[in-house]
Amino acid sequence: MSYYIIISGLIFLAAIFGYINARFLKLPTTIGLMAITIVYSAFVWGISFFDDTLLMAEARLIREINFETVLMDYMLSFLLFAGALHTNFQELKKLRWPIIAFATLGVVTSTFLIGTATYYTLQLLGQQINYTYCLLFGALISPTDPIAVLGILKKAKAPKKLEIKIVGESLFNDGIGVVLFLTLFQIASSSGASIEPLDILSLFGQEVGGGILLGLIIGWITYRLLKSIDDFSTEVIITLAAVMGGTVIADQLHLSAPLAMVMAGLLVGDDRVRDATMSETTELYVDKFWELIDILLNAVLFVLIGMEILVLTFKTDYIIAGLIVIPITLISRYAALFLPVKIFEKRLDFVPHTTAIMTWGGLRGGISIALALSLSEEMNREMFLVITYIIVVFSILVQGLTIEGVIGRFLHEKNEV
């Protein structure tokens, strides 16, 4: 099956499902697309008992798409740049210390808590799993997905300060989480070979620090180029080249491309940079171009997530484990956020119940599934993939649909007080 046919099929489904959602359900795009795709996939699976032609065709389509490669190597840089481009850099800068704490200390703490709790849970269920593999699972499920968060928070009516914290954390903990996962993956794949702690810190520092530095350099070069001309079409192409070229450079230098694109997007999207480099026409076209890229890739991504259900191996033990691990991930996230929130809440005037809201608003998405797909068979790939999928579906459909109500309830309590 050619790439053109695959892409055409995905965009066709995204268009049809998007129309159904916009016309009838009127849910946030990410939630609506994923819900409709899951229902569609269940329908395909149901009629396969009578005629499996459609199921075989759909399963073949999904198997020919390397979800991990498509998302991590191609889509993620565009989505993160687009998200960062439309994030208020000055507001983010004011909250930089709690966001850094959430994205570093929070992710590491959550990884350890989820990994450890999952290890003992699986032991109780009769699954003898290597502890390192459980930590790998903790690393892939701990980062909140900025792609899911950004789309849903737009309609959640969260206070601006709270929205910036959640969005900022999601943009950065995504990159940190991927680097942590890759570091643990290297340890797990070492086959008993000795890996020194300094080697781990060096790898982590290179990926994170190097990615941030590269993003600043790309953002500065883009800024200088945009400032020197006034031609909206060329300037749009320059931003596109920055993302594509920057991702290639990051991969070649073994730096974190996600963090590089976040930093570049924040710098180019800063209001002061916009005022100094872009005319009103250019700013309009740049924003609309990246908004369209964001909408299109999001639509395709969540259709892909929904269709993954057709190729998963759903065993009873895996499903039970997934349902048990849902509260584990929520409790672990609450515990990981508790200390950073307590440290900064009075000095930075946090919204009451920030920890609870950020816990429920920390959605998991395609990045977790992509990382789970990269696990090897000996790392219990099928089991962790099903557990991850269950958590992601719960996160998007249940947490995503109720986050507006949760925020409203806590703010209502504040007003009553």
What are the strands, taking DSSP E only, across 176-279? none
Provide the CATH topology of domain 67-416. Na+/H+ antiporter like fold (1.20.1530)
Decide: 185 and 140 in contact? Cβ < 8 Å.
Answer: no
Domain spans of the chain?
A: 3-63, 67-416
pLDDT digits (tens, 9 = 90+) for 294-323: 999 989 999 999 999 998 989 999 999 999
Decide: 309 and 43 in contact? Cβ < 8 Å.
Answer: no
Decide: 327 and 100 in contact? Cβ < 8 Å.
Answer: no
The number of angstroms, rounded, from the C-alpha of 407 to the middle of its chain's C-alpha atoms is 21
Is the CA virtual torsion 364, 20, 151, 294 positive or negative?
A: positive
pLDDT of 6 > 60? The answer is: yes
pLDDT digits (tens, 9 = 90+) for 244-281: 999 999 999 989 999 999 999 999 999 999 999 999 99
Distance CA 417, CA 412 (A): 9
User: Which of the four pLDDT bands, split at 50, 70 and 90, describes residue 417?
Assistant: very low
pLDDT digits (tens, 9 = 90+) for 213-239: 999 999 999 999 999 999 999 999 999
Q: Which SS3 state, helix, strand or coil, does residue 196 take?
A: coil
CA torsion, ordered 251, 254, 257, 263, to nearest 10 deg: -130
